[in-house]
């Protein structure tokens, strides 16, 4: 049995939550009268830390730390993903939940912000262990989640299968099935067409809109992508299909480059169907990880984890546009330097909002039991994100602020207006 302290008792590392607080400090001067409510966003509304004991295949009982943070519920039920990763801790889940509040309000979805996580490396667990962990975690959370309370979805390390176990566990505990309790479900269980690729597709939509305003062409542009998971691989495919040249893809397995362009469909086929490895992909050359940052490109899509673009590598970056597919990939200090270098940053809270937008479509389809076509979903996603981008772009121009601050102004104004109208109880 481990005698190490739970990660949330280690207060030494302020982590990503400190970054979120810094972003709030930057927006506060722009909020006028509503600024008196900003402290609401500096503390999560509800934080749940649960012990998740799991019977392992060898008979041992292992304890995992589980979290769910409902950062703000002023505009509707909590909404945000569930992450399985060995680095998950309370600071990270708090920050991710805060970013969900901002993201959902920025694209005007009728949700508050929430996020969950379990400190576990899912690759080290058998399928049975993963199922038991998911079911126990869901059960521990069952008093605070629900289609009208708080709706989890996939994030790093979780997928449609994890969502299916969550629906089933919640249904057994409640004696009736409520498909809208999570989104990102398999299609056969009430999932939505277009959800799987929605985050990556959304990255492309906002990038296309930004490129139009910056006088850049999508066709022939050079794109680099960090992360080849759900977000990175979809973003790479859509950019490629729209005529861009994906010149580098980096994942934990290595960094692939090809100046003539990597075909992400071929890479996926090679990895999934061909059973090939990252290093023996014939369509690109493997280079050292650090080189990724200095590859000349028009668009860089960091779609892995937070804290990737830092003071240590920012001066090597030569992209004109950064599209944050991941949550929190750029530190505030590095972002200032990017702007000084003439690089535009499309912030996570806008750039990766496509996933939760199609989650919202899924939730609406579940509530009405009427399902839409994929074409319909693509068109609606495109409209929601293009309109959000347009109004945020205008705010950035009018107030002479960067796009992150403009997105925070839009979102915080919506959240705090609802907060002020609801008032305090009692």
Asked if 325 touches ligand GLU (CB under 6 A), the answer is no
- The answer to whether the CB of 410 falls within 8 A of the CB of 28 is no
Q: Which is nearer to ligand GLU, 65 or 155 (CB)?
A: 155
DSSP state of 204: H
Within 10 angstroms of residue 267's Cβ, the number of other Cβ atoms is 24
Instruction: Report which secondary-structure segment, H or E, holds 234.
Output: helix 230-241
Stretch that binds ligand GLU, among 209-217, 276-284, 300-308, 350-358 (CB under 6 A): 350-358
Cα dihedral 344, 349, 350, 352 sign:
positive
Catalytic residue among 45, 79, 103, 115: 115
Stretch that binds ligand GLU, among 74-82, 240-248, 333-341, 370-378 (CB under 6 A): 74-82
Q: Classify strands 222-226 and 299-302 as parallel, antiparallel or unpaired.
A: parallel
How far is Cα 211 from Cα 330, in angstroms, rounded to an integer? Answer: 20
342, two tokens: 């003439």
Asked if 183 touches ligand GLU (CB under 6 A), the answer is yes
DSSP state of 308: -
Stretch that binds ligand GLU, among 65-73, 77-85, 310-318, 370-378 (CB under 6 A): 77-85
Asked if 405 touches ligand GLU (CB under 6 A), the answer is no
Q: Which of 78, 81, 122, 229 binds ligand GLU (CB under 6 A)?
A: 81
Active site residue 115: yes
Asked if 327 touches ligand GLU (CB under 6 A), the answer is yes
Q: Which of 16, 66, 76, 80 binds ligand GLU (CB under 6 A)?
A: 80
Q: Among all residues, whose Cβ is closest to ligand GLU?
A: 81
Asked if 365 touches ligand GLU (CB under 6 A), the answer is no
Asked if 153 touches ligand GLU (CB under 6 A), the answer is yes
Asked if 355 touches ligand GLU (CB under 6 A), the answer is yes
Q: Which residue has the tokens 């962990």?
A: 133
Across the beta sheet with 113-119, what order do the strands follow? 46-55, 61-72, 113-119, 82-85
Asked if 359 touches ligand GLU (CB under 6 A), the answer is yes
Asked if 79 touches ligand GLU (CB under 6 A), the answer is yes
Packed helices 403-422 and 374-399: angle between N→C axes, nearest 10 degrees: 100
Q: Which residue has the tokens 């950064």?
A: 322
Within 10 angstroms of residue 268's Cβ, the number of other Cβ atoms is 15
Q: Looking at residues 92 to 151 of the shown chain, list those that interact with ligand GLU (rule: CB under 6 A).
A: none
Stretch that binds ligand GLU, among 28-36, 76-84, 135-143, 372-380 (CB under 6 A): 76-84
Residues making contact with ligand GLU (CB under 6 A): 79-81, 153, 155, 183-184, 327, 352, 355-356, 359
Instruction: Supply the residues annotated as catalytic.
Output: 115
């Amino acid at each position: 049995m481990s005698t190490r302290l739970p990660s949330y008792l280690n207060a030494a590392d302020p982590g990503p939550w400190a970054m979120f607080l810094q972003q709030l400090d930057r927006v506060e001067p722009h909020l006028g009268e509503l600024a008196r409510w900003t402290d609401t966003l500096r503390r999560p509304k509800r934080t749940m830390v649960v012990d998740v004991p799991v019977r392992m295949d060898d008979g041992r009982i292992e304890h995992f730390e589980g979290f769910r943070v409902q950062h703000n519920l002023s505009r509707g039920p909590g909404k945000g993903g569930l992450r399985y990763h060995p680095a998950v801790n309370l600071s990270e889940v708090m920050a991710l939940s805060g970013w969900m509040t901002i993201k959902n309000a920025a694209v005007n979805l009728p949700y508050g912000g929430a996020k969950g996580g379990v400190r576990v490396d899912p690759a080290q667990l058998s399928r049975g262990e993963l199922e038991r962990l998911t079911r126990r975690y869901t059960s521990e959370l069952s008093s605070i989640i629900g289609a009208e309370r708080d709706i989890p979805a996939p994030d790093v390390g979780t997928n449609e299968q994890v969502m299916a176990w969550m629906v089933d566990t919640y249904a057994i505990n409640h004696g009736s099935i409520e498909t809208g309790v999570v989104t990102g479900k398999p299609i056969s269980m009430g999932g939505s067409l277009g959800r799987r690729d929605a985050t990556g597709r959304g990255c492309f939509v906002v990038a296309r809109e930004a490129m139009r305003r910056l006088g850049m062409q999508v066709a022939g542009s050079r794109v680099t992508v960090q992360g080849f998971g759900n977000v990175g691989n979809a973003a790479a495919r859509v950019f490629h299909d729209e005529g861009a040249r994906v010149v580098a893809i980096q994942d934990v397995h290595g960094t692939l480059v090809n100046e003539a362009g990597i075909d992400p469909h071929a890479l996926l086929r090679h990895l999934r169907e061909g059973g090939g490895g990252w290093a023996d992909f014939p369509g690109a050359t493997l280079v050292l990880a650090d080189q990724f940052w200095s590859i000349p490109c028009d668009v860089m899509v960091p779609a892995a984890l937070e804290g990737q673009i830092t003071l240590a590598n920012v001066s090597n970056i030569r992209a004109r546009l950064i599209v944050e597919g991941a949550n929190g990939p750029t530190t505030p200090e590095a972002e200032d330097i990017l702007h000084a270098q003439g690089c535009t940053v499309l912030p996570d809270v806008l750039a990766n909002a496509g996933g939760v937008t199609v989650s919202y479509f899924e939730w609406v389809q579940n509530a009405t039991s009427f399902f839409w076509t994929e074409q319909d979903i693509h068109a609606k996603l495109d409209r929601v994100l293009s309109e959000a981008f347009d109004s945020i772009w205008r705010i950035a121009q009018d107030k002479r602020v960067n796009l992150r601050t403009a997105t925070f102004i839009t979102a915080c104004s919506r959240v705090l207006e609802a907060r002020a109208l609801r008032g305090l109880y009692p």
